[in-house]
Amino acid sequence: MISERTQAAIDRFKSKADGPLLEIEGIRKEFPGVVALDDVRLSLRRGTVHALMGENGAGKSTLMKIIAGIYTPERGTIRLRGDEVTLSGPLDALERGIAMIHQELALMPYMTVAENIWIRREPLNRLGLVDHAAMARRTRDLFARLNIAIDPLTEVRFLTVAQRQMVEIAKAVSYDSDVLIMDEPTSALTETEVAHLFAIIRDLKSRGIGIVYITHKMNELFEIADEFSVFRDGRYVGTHASNEVTRDDIIRMMVGRDITDMFPKEPADISDTILSVDGLSLDGVFHDISFDLRKGEILGLAGLVGSGRSNVAEALFGVTPATSGRIRIDGQAVRIASPADAMKHGMAFLTEDRKETGCFLPLSILENMQLAMLQDQNVRLGFVEQRAVNRQCAEMRETLRVKTPSMDERIENLSGGNQQKVLIARWLLTRPRILILDEPTRGIDVGAKAEIHRLISRLAGQGVAVIMISSELPEVLGMSDRIMVMHEGHMTGILDRAEADQVKIMELAAR
Amino acid sequence: MDNVQIEPAARKARRLPADLGILMVLVGVALVFEIMGWIFQGQSFLMNPQRLTIMILQVSVVGIIAIGVTQVIITGGIDLSSGSVVAMTAMVAMSFAQAAGYDRAVYPSLTGLPVLVPLAIGLGLGLLAGIVNGQLIARTGIPPFIATLGMMVTARGFAKWYTKGQPISFPTDGFAAIGNGALPVFIFLGVAVIFHILLKYTRYGKFTYAIGANAQAARVSGINVQRHLVKVYALAGLLSGLAGVVTAARAETAQAGMGMMYELDAIAAAVIGGTSLSGGRGKIFGTVIGTLILGLMMSGFTFLRVDAYYQEIVKGVIIVAAVVADTYRQKGRGKAGI
């Protein structure tokens, strides 16, 4: 005989079990002077991957941080397993079963994997001291369940990015979290690592865990996500099952307009050879790289992460000078021992990592933009010719359509796409003849991406020689006149635009 | 952070400019002492030009050092050697500034030299100390804290060794004139104006901020980071040398114990004035105000007859409070700090 009350409790439990794992509604979040989110909702079901899509600045990261307890919304409700909750901080969220895998990985490099996972919850022995053996054992059990092959006693600094991510995921699982937030987890992974990550994600799904997944990569959406929600300018646009829409539908939802041509490389006059590289090597990193680059040409540089693509770019620009080989510019042999040398020869280099080697985060947009152009011009007797500089920077801001209320705004307040535009502006203001771009559109929304592609194409049209490194094959294929492929520090081939396709590139890149 | 809709109205009302903020702290501190003055001493604190002149005179030397230290901190570094370099340069400069015919001079045959000689030697020695700091940091890659800590101990040791601990006195009138009257105040303010211009309007300044904001990005942007750091530390050393000359001239004597803890007062002045110890942010204007706040506090406590021991306790608390306040102010701030 079941009493009425018990029955009610059972019903409530059932409805909770069937209802959404996490449900948020009417969320509003403001920052000084900015409404980042307004009336946003999201519903995450158990055992599903729910992707958040949107251009940079759409509010995805803000929403994610609200779910993870990092930000407190001004308005709106969060229901976790049916109960309304207020998250007082990341720790509170974690203890309630919401874990976030950070984009900037948040592990302590000089501590072991096991120590990182069990921090704050270390198993103790009878004397109240940390029981390292038990900790290692627990870690091994955890890893075995998740199919992760990492030694728990390795210090985190020796791990690859992919391995660190696995550790973060294992840590989240160790908290019995059933809501997992992943912010572009594949942005620094190789194809095999992505496959491994997806296997783990599928396993987590089968255990009933719900995953909020932020990505800019369309193919990932179709491969791993069950549902997706689109955001635009801080507002909720809609939620759909990922098997009922096309790529174009999603892009339309994200940008609110059609983008017909994603990779608009226009034909340019390709004339004289400007850069000629012969047998360039950096001991232990890459070997015997030779190629010519002509004015107006875009040379794509493809290869897996770790194949030495970026190292070649850094050597060309003098960041880490090559140990042997010859570089000729306009037929003249040149020595490039520092970025300043490279700049004297009309080179510019947009680095891969905006935060580490690109932005001056505490400084304004103007300061960020003008820095490289002060190297050998726009300065008289040590004084910056600020009026002329301001004018050029303002023009560049117009041309690149940097969205900002003021040039005095700090660059850290801009979205990724706008930051990237500022950095591109920094280099264009030096009026380069040879432009090296390392992942120019990484982590950038579709709209800004197309703008940047159009810009690169236009520069080539004006006779600038471009070397473009990219992990996205469609981008490389769409933009490049020729494609050089690298594998483990060696050049494995150069393909012409006409003969290149994804299969050929992957064959050369993966061998 | 994802920023979208910009609402100009909200932005406008958000906060005061940083310059005004620090200025208001200065005014606030002054008013507190003014009120306390009437309550406890029955007289005005501010309406006493002589007291204010002495106050600024007392902090001028620290102010000169603080300006050099500010630009070092903007690069993300630190200079702990400035106080000791003051002592070293004061001693050496004074030894070449002794009056003619003074038979117990350090160099009896080199007395009565024109003022330019000790001045140049003092500045040159400070510059040299700064170059050594800079080269150590740039070439070996050791942390600025360690490099300048070494210089701090070494320079103090040198100052003591120089005369085996004996003070040096009897300068020429010309040398003593450097410290006469309010001249140190004008030197302090003159240096402040020059470095304000240097940091704000020249390539040197732009590069200084850039290195502190992100040294890696600065290098990729074509800046020779090592060479620039040597310049920054060299200028800081030069200003310590100038401070040493002014100190000796004003006291008309030089002792190895001069400038004790000045490096910490200088760092405190910079930090109170809003310079960020993590680099990339700071202004000379803020440092000047920070220096005046320190001076006002010392002078105010003395005026209120607060025990010197309490003064130090309170000073320590205020320095930490200033940084805490600044940290909160930085959060959620939109505009760049320079």
| The pLDDT of residue A490 is above 60 | yes
Mean pLDDT of all residues in chain A? Answer: 87
The answer to whether position B114 is within a domain reads yes
Q: Which amino acid is at A345?
A: H
Instruction: Dump pLDDT digits (tens) for A338-353.
Output: 999 999 999 999 998 8
| pLDDT score of B302 | 86
* Cα of B147 to nearest chain A Cα, Å: 25
| pLDDT score of B155 | 97
Q: What share of chain B is helix, strand, coil (3-state, %, to 5)?
A: 70, 5, 25
| pLDDT score of A376 | 81
| The pLDDT of residue A305 is above 60 | yes
| The pLDDT of residue B221 is above 90 | yes
From CA A374, how far away is CA B222, in angstroms rounded? 10
From CA A187, how far away is CA A104, in angstroms rounded? 11
Question: Which of B1, B220, B280 has its CB closest to that of A31?
Answer: B1
From CA A18, how far away is CA A491, in angstroms rounded? 54
Instruction: State the complex-level ipTM.
Output: 0.83
Q: How many CB atoms lie within 10 A of CB B244?
A: 37
The answer to whether position B20 is within a domain reads no
Q: Which of A118-122, B1-5, B227-231, B315-319 has the lowest mean pLDDT?
A: B1-5
- Average of pLDDT values for A291-319? 91
| pLDDT score of B338 | 40
Residue with tokens 């970026």: A310
Question: Which tokens go with A295?
Answer: 């004015």
Instruction: Give the torsion sign (CA, B86, B91, B92, B93).
Output: positive
CA distances from A374 to A247, A367, A382, B222 (A): 43, 11, 10, 10
Window A:149-208, CB contacts with B under 8 Å:
none
Instruction: Dump pLDDT digits (tens) for A457-487.
Output: 999 999 999 999 987 778 888 899 999 999 8
The residue ranking higher by pLDDT, A467 or B324, is: A467
| The pLDDT of residue B123 is above 90 | yes
Please list the residues that pair with A28 across neighbouring strands. A75
Helix intervals (H) in A190-299: 191-206, 218-224, 247-255
Instruction: Dump pLDDT digits (tens) for B136-185.
Output: 999 999 999 999 999 999 999 999 999 998 999 999 999 999 999 889 99
Instruction: Give the torsion sign (CA, A153, A157, A161, A165).
Output: positive
Residue of A nearest to B335 (CA): A409
Residues from B contacting A (CB-CB < 8 Å) are: 1-8, 10-11, 14, 201-204, 206-207, 209-210, 213-214, 216-224, 276, 279-281, 332-338
* CATH at residue B61: 1.10.3470
The answer to whether position B122 is within a domain reads yes
| pLDDT score of B284 | 96
Instruction: Dump pLDDT digits (tens) for A47-63.
Output: 999 999 876 667 888 89
Q: What confidence tier does B257 reach under pLDDT thresholds 50, 70, 90?
A: very high
Mean pLDDT of all residues in chain B? Answer: 89
Q: What percent of chain A has pLDDT over 70?
A: 92
Instruction: Dump pLDDT digits (tens) for A359-394.
Output: 999 999 999 999 999 988 888 989 999 999 999 999
What domain range includes position B82?
A: 49-330
* Interchain contact A422–B (C-beta under 8 A): no
- Average of pLDDT values for B90-104? 91
Residue B18: list chain A partners with CB under 8 A: none
CB contact (8 A) between residue B334 and residue A384? no
Measured at the CA of A305, the angle between CA A171 and CA B2, to 5 degrees, comes to 60
* Closest among B290, B279, B296 to B322, alpha carbons compared: B290
Residue B17: list chain A partners with CB under 8 A: none
Domain count, chain B: 1
Instruction: Dump pLDDT digits (tens) for A128-161.
Output: 899 999 999 999 999 998 888 899 999 988 888 7
| pLDDT score of B14 | 46
Residue A379: list chain B partners with CB under 8 A: 202-203
The answer to whether position B292 is within a domain reads yes
Residue with tokens 């309304």: A84
| pLDDT score of B18 | 63
| The pLDDT of residue B333 is above 50 | no
| The pLDDT of residue A203 is above 70 | yes
- Average of pLDDT values for A230-258? 81
The answer to whether position B277 is within a domain reads yes
**Which domains are present in chain A?**
21-255 (3.40.50.300), 273-510 (3.40.50.300)
- Residue A179 is inside which H or E element, if any? strand A179-183
| The pLDDT of residue A5 is above 70 | no
Instruction: Dump pLDDT digits (tens) for B5-38.
Output: 433 433 443 455 667 778 888 898 899 889 988 9
| pLDDT score of A58 | 78
Q: What confidence tier does A175 reach under pLDDT thresholds 50, 70, 90?
A: confident
Write out the DSSP string of B79-136: ---HHHHHHHHHHHHHHTSBPTT-TT-SSGGG-S--THHHHHHHHHHHHHHHHHHHHI
CB contact (8 A) between residue B218 and residue A371? yes
From CA A314, how far away is CA A122, in angstroms rounded? 42
- Average of pLDDT values for A105-125? 88
Question: Which tokens go with A178?
Answer: 């059933």
From CA A50, how far away is CA A36, in angstroms rounded? 21
- Residue A293 is inside which H or E element, if any? strand A286-294
**How large is the greatest C-alpha to C-alpha distance in chain A, in angstroms?**
95
